[in-house]
Amino acid sequence: MQIKDQVIIKCWKPILEEYEKTRTKITPRSFKFIKDLCKAHHISTKELRRYYNKWI
């Protein structure tokens, strides 16, 4: 695995884990809605879904 890939995983992994919690409505979760998660991290929902699909 390249260093670039490791950096991306390190940055995106906590966001994607929080996305899974919010999406499946597991409690406790930090965000009630996915749009709130995206707003907090300054990303679009489209970008979040794209990275999530790659991560799966």
Would you say residue 22 has pLDDT above 80? yes
Task: Tell me what the mean pLDDT of segment 34-41 comes to.
Answer: 95
Tell me the per-residue pLDDT of 10-20, one tens digit each, with 9 for 90 and over: 888 899 999 99
pLDDT tier at 1, thresholds 50, 70, 90: low
**Contact status, residue 34 vs residue 23, Cβ threshold 8 Å:** yes
Coil, strand or helix at 32:
coil
Both tokens assigned to 13: 């992994």
DSSP sequence for 1-56: --HHHHHHHHHHHHHHHHHHHHHHT-SS-S-SSHHHHHHHHT--HHHHHHHHHHH-
Would you say residue 54 has pLDDT above 70? yes
